[in-house]
A and B are shown apart, each in its own frame.
Chain A
Amino acid sequence: MFTSLETRASLLERMQRGEDQAAWAEFVQAYTPLVVGVARGARLRDEQVDEVAQDTWQVLKCFRALDGPFDREKGRFRAWLHGVIRHKVLDLRRRERRGAFASMDAGALDPPETVAEIDELIETQWRLNVLDRARRELARRMTPQAYQALDLYAFQGQPVKRVARLLGLRVSAVYLAKTRGLKRLSELVAEIEREEDAR
C-alpha cells in the first residue's frame, strides 16, 4: 500500500521504468478497485470484469516497455487510464449486445451504454477511488480511537451515545472526532485530486 501521498508520483515513475516489481503490484492494487467498480457498474459479468482489468494492465505493461505514455507532453495518466477502460468496457458491452440480439437487426438499435454514460461511470468511480485512498491515509494519520469513533458514528451511522460508551469517550469527543476527521478527509481528497491532475 502507499505509505504517504508524496510517494505515489515516484511510485508511478518507478513502475514506468520497470525498475520495481513491488511498485507494479502496489500500483495495480491501488487502481484495481476503480477498474472493477467501473466494470461492475457497466453490468459486466465477473469473468468480463477480470478481462477488463487484465487487458488494462496488459496495455499499461506494453506502454511501460515503450518508455511509458505518462509524460506530461503526451497527456495525463488519468486521461490515459480512462481511455483504456472506456474502450474495453464499450467493446464488451457491444459484444454482449450482439450476442443477446444475434437473431435481430442489432444495427438498428442503440447500444445500451453510450460513451457519455461510460465516462460518467468512470468519473464516479474515480472520485470514489480518490475518496478511498484519502480515507486510508486519514486512518493512518488519526489515533486509532479517534478514527474508530469517526468510522462508527459518521461512516456506519451508529448512535453517538453507543459509540461514546463503546470507546469510553465523552459524547462531545465523538462529535469532535467526526468534525476533525471529515474536515481532514476533505483536505486529503483535494490534495490527491490536485496530484492526479498534475500527472
Chain B
Amino acid sequence: MKRCPSDARLSQFARGQMTGPPAVEFELHLESCPKCARALAQLPAWSELVERLRELNENRVRDAELVRRVARRAAALGRTGDR
C-alpha cells in the first residue's frame, strides 16, 4: 500500500470490518506511516471503549481491598462442608 488510505478505510479497519490480506497490508502501511498511525489512534471510534476502561480502572482500584477480602472468604467456602 503506497498511498495513504482514506478516512473511510481507516474507520473500516478500526471497526474490524477489514480482514485478510487487505488488513495485513494496512497494518504494514501503519508501521511505516506515522501520519496514518496517529490518525487511526485518535479516531472517535475508540473513545467509548477507552472511557469504559478508565471507569473499570477506577472501580478496580477503589474496590481492590474489598474484592480481595470477599474472594478469600468465598474461596474458603468452597473448601468447607463440600457436597
Partner-B contacts on A (CB < 8 A): 18, 21, 24-25, 28-29, 32-33, 35-37, 40, 46, 49-50, 53-54, 57-58, 61, 64-65, 127-128, 131-132, 135, 154-157, 170-172, 174-176, 178-180, 182-183, 185-187
29 contacts between A and B (CB under 8 A): A18-B82, A28-B71, A28-B77, A29-B71, A32-B70, A32-B74, A36-B67, A36-B70, A37-B59, A50-B66, A50-B73, A53-B70, A53-B73, A53-B74, A54-B70, A128-B52, A128-B56, A135-B53, A154-B46, A154-B50, A155-B53, A155-B54, A172-B30, A175-B34, A176-B30, A176-B37, A179-B40, A183-B14, A187-B16
Contact B77 A33 (CB under 8 A): no
Against A, the Cβ 8 Å flags (1 = close, 0 = not) of B30-61 are 11011001101110001001101111110110
Whole-angstrom CA separation of A34 from B10 in the bound complex: 35
Q: A36-B66, A154-B50, A179-B41 are in contact. Are A57 and B34 (CB under 8 A)?
A: no
- Sorting the interface of chain B by its residue count into under 10, 10 to 19, 20 to 34 or 35 or more gives 35 or more
Q: How many A-B residue pairs have CB under 8 A?
A: 115
Contact of B16 among A21, A35, A186 (CB under 8 A): A186
Contact B60 A49 (CB under 8 A): no
Instruction: Write the nearest CB–CB distance from A188 to chain B, whole angstroms.
Output: 11
Whole-angstrom CA separation of A186 from B17 in the bound complex: 12
Whole-angstrom CA separation of A156 from B71 in the bound complex: 27
Partner-A contacts on B (CB < 8 A): 13-14, 16, 27, 30-31, 33-34, 37-38, 40-42, 46, 49-50, 52-57, 59-60, 62-63, 66-67, 69-71, 73-75, 77-79, 82-83
Contact B69 A50 (CB under 8 A): yes
Contact of A49 among B27, B40, B66 (CB under 8 A): B66
Q: Please give, as numbers and ranges, the residues of chain A lying within 8 Å of B79 by CB-CB distance.
A: 21
Whole-angstrom CA separation of A87 from B79 in the bound complex: 25
Q: Please give, as numbers and ranges, the residues of chain A lying within 8 Å of B37 by CB-CB distance.
A: 172, 175-176, 179
Whole-angstrom CA separation of A28 from B31 in the bound complex: 41
Contact B77 A61 (CB under 8 A): yes
Whole-angstrom CA separation of A50 from B68 in the bound complex: 11
Q: Give 20 new A-B contacts, CB below 8 A, not counting A171-B38, A178-B41, A182-B46.
A: A18-B82, A40-B66, A50-B69, A50-B70, A54-B70, A57-B74, A61-B77, A128-B55, A131-B53, A154-B46, A156-B57, A170-B34, A172-B33, A174-B41, A175-B42, A179-B30, A179-B37, A179-B40, A182-B49, A183-B14
